[in-house]
Chains A and B, each alone.
Chain A
Amino acid sequence: MGASATTARGRELLARLGVAVTLGGAVLLLIDLLAQLARVDLWIIGGELAFSQLMNYLWTGLTLGLIIGLAGVGLSLTYSILNFANFAHGDYLTLGAFSGWSVAYVIAGLGTIDLASLILVDAPSSNVGASVTNTPVAVVVGLVVAIVVTVALGLALDRAVYKPMRNSEGISLLIASIGVAFILRYLAALIFGTGRRGITAPSEIPSMTVLGVQVNAHQLTILVVALVAMMAIHLLLQRTKIGKAMRAMADNRDLARITGIPTERMITATWVLGSGLAGASGYMLVLARGTLGFNDGYLLLLLIFAAVILGGIGSVYGAIVGGLLIGITSRVALVWVPGEFGRPVAFGLMILFLLFRPSGLFGGVETA
């Protein structure tokens, strides 16, 4: 009797063990981190880590995390409301970045630099001198354009590609989105070229030192814009009727099933919100990095997926928290691993979540 009944319990026990080992590992790393900061060296733990270095990791991780989180909100909403993993979401970021910076360049350099090279974001960044302090109007208008263009793009693609497939399964939509990703990415490459270019002018970005960390104006801009965007999302979801409906639907797929296919109006709202945030994230990714290449959004896509899975699919707040966790993890990991492993570590974190808590931190939709 006992032998068979233990199978289920055994499985549960294994899952618990996994969680315990993972948490234990995390605690060990934390102890090690403290030891390193205190410059204690005990067998395998400890070492030397400057406090400012850690703060620096945290700060850059935070800015990256905010960008990932904002992008994640859109991905999470489309994932749960439209029921598919959008593999083109990263390329929405790229298109947002190119369109926004194209307009920002035109405003910043009009009259002094050849128009064609401005439109194609091809002019030397030091000549344009784009930065939030040097050319504030251009940068702000660029952000707005990035959002507007990406929203238009999101809606157009929904019409052309996803609308005819409303009743298809998630996997078919996923495959279609891979097609969309190819189109967008190589359209960007066709128009803007495949080379990576510098966008902002490093010499024009003021910075100061806070707690040993170099904080520059662009990182602060990201912080401010992200906070404003999050407030806006919060109000939208809590106060407006369509927002409440979206949240209810995203949180609870059963509800979605009972009430049937989401209304076209809600789908439109989902794309507007999701694409707009993607455009803004893509634009701000350039603020964080200073450079832009046609692959950038796509390369960020897996980190965005990681954020969404960590937070729990369908959870808007989860996506933001997940983004912060992923951003910070990928930077703080560098305390232990070489720089090239920051990204794999973030993926690893996602895999751990898929293993032991597939519903994510905020208990999103069931996965198994």
Chain B
Amino acid sequence: MSDEPGPATTNIPDDVETPDELDPESHDSAVEEAAKRTPRGIPLRVDGLRKEFGGITAVDGASFQVEAGSLTGLIGPNGAGKSTTFNCITGVHTPTAGQVQFNGENITGLEPHEVANRGLVRTFQIARELEEMTVLENMMLAPKHQRGESVVRSVTPGLRRDVVSQEEELREEVWEMLEFFELDHIAEVEAGTLSGGQRKLLEMARALMTDPEMVLLDEPLAGVNPTLEEKLLERIHELREDGYTFLFVEHDMDIIMEHCEHIIVMHQGKVLAEGGADDIRNNEAVVEAYLGEDVS
């Protein structure tokens, strides 16, 4: 799955009527599946990324890589270009220049859904839960290429049986995931009624339901109370053990230092420094950039 260069040249069709990725026979739950991963290589490479908005350069030639199976932190003061970088990687923005590679494939300028279908999913700084859908519906939306996403299959009597049976499989995985994130007690409420922290949890759980290889987390701890924060970080570590790769945007220096083995510091649209927590702590440029900034 994570072999380099991976399924680079084959354009994964995003058609809804694609062959079953989620074959009911061979498919175990997402969490168990992940446990079988043996991550190696460099799934994500960002090279000379540049993004301008009408004369303002938000990202100015950033280059970095993320190692498979790592929990990599991306930090920087406000306005450093972290979110824009995320948006360029995930197809929300088209970069002005530079390249983004995922598993050896150039994904620069792809549509967000095309990026997600390649196994690179993200969460948002302000959680984008689907308010008028229940937690269960939110979760059930995520799995890729569901048979019932085709109207024809959903309505035709004989074919609907497959739709139903696949949904039953997915339903089990969803419940497991909800239990893992301790969201099962609120599974049937509308997502709009959740607390800020629960929304963050839901968003991460939902992203994982797409069966990704790598997850980009955009400030997953913002607005989350300390107890929940602890729980969330715990989950991230467990999932990392299972073989997922994480890129983690956060402006709280301490959290990044404590939890990430590899840290990328951005400043004014550029990568200022890279390395382990100790390297960063002792890097003069970083200290200087953060001087006067709210470090914690």
Classify A-B as touching or not with yes or no (CB < 8 A).
yes
Answer whether A7 and B9 are a contact pair too, CB < 8 Å, given A1-B105, A1-B106: no
Could you tell me if B8 and A5 are in contact, using CB atoms closer than 8 angstroms? no
Could you tell me if B109 and A9 are in contact, using CB atoms closer than 8 angstroms? yes
**B108 at the binding interface (Cβ < 8 Å):** yes
Question: Total interface residues on B, using CB and 8 Å?
Answer: 12
Residues of the B chain whose Cβ atoms lie less than 8 Å from the Cβ of A7: 109-111, 114
Could you tell me if B94 and A4 are in contact, using CB atoms closer than 8 angstroms? no
Q: Which residue among A4, A5, A7, A9 has the maximum number of chain B CB atoms within 10 Å of its CB? A: A4
Could you tell me if B109 and A8 are in contact, using CB atoms closer than 8 angstroms? yes
> Which of A3, A8, A9 is close to B9, meaning CB atoms less than 8 Å apart?
A3
Interface on chain A toward B: helix, strand, loop, or mixed SS? helix
Distance (Å) between the CB of B114 and the closest chain A CB? 7
Could you tell me if A8 and B105 are in contact, using CB atoms closer than 8 angstroms? no
Distance (Å) between the CB of A74 and the closest chain B CB? 28
Chain B residues numbered 83-120 whose CB sits less than 8 Å from any CB in chain A: 94, 105-111, 114
Distance between Cα atoms of A4 and B104 in the complex (Å): 12
Chain A residues numbered 1-19 whose CB sits less than 8 Å from any CB in chain B: 1-5, 7-9
Q: Which residue among B8, B11, B106 has the maximum number of chain A CB atoms within 10 Å of its CB? A: B106
Could you tell me if B108 and A5 are in contact, using CB atoms closer than 8 angstroms? yes
Residues of the A chain whose Cβ atoms lie less than 8 Å from the Cβ of B114: 4, 7
Residues of the A chain whose Cβ atoms lie less than 8 Å from the Cβ of B94: 8
Could you tell me if B106 and A8 are in contact, using CB atoms closer than 8 angstroms? no
Chain A, Cβ-Cβ closest to B118: A4
Could you tell me if B108 and A3 are in contact, using CB atoms closer than 8 angstroms? no
Chain A, Cβ-Cβ closest to B10: A3
* Chain B 217-256 interface mask (CB, 8 Å, partner A; 1/0): 0000000000000000000000000000000000000000
Residues of the B chain whose Cβ atoms lie less than 8 Å from the Cβ of A4: 11, 105-107, 110, 114
Distance between Cα atoms of A79 and B141 in the complex (Å): 35
Distance (Å) between the CB of B12 and the closest chain A CB? 9
Distance between Cα atoms of A1 and B94 in the complex (Å): 16
Residues of the A chain whose Cβ atoms lie less than 8 Å from the Cβ of B8: 1
Distance (Å) between the CB of B45 and the closest chain A CB? 12
Chain A, Cβ-Cβ closest to B94: A8
Distance between Cα atoms of A5 and B114 in the complex (Å): 11
Distance between Cα atoms of A1 and B45 in the complex (Å): 14
Question: Can you name 28 A-B pairs with beta carbons within 8 Å?
Answer: A1-B8, A1-B9, A1-B105, A1-B106, A2-B106, A3-B9, A3-B11, A4-B11, A4-B105, A4-B106, A4-B107, A4-B110, A4-B114, A5-B106, A5-B107, A5-B108, A5-B109, A5-B110, A7-B109, A7-B110, A7-B111, A7-B114, A8-B94, A8-B108, A8-B109, A8-B110, A8-B111, A9-B109
B contact residues vs A (CB 8 Å cutoff): 8-9, 11, 94, 105-111, 114
- With contacts A4-B114, A5-B108 known, what are 8 further pairs, Cβ within 8 A? A2-B106, A3-B11, A4-B11, A4-B105, A4-B106, A5-B109, A5-B110, A8-B111
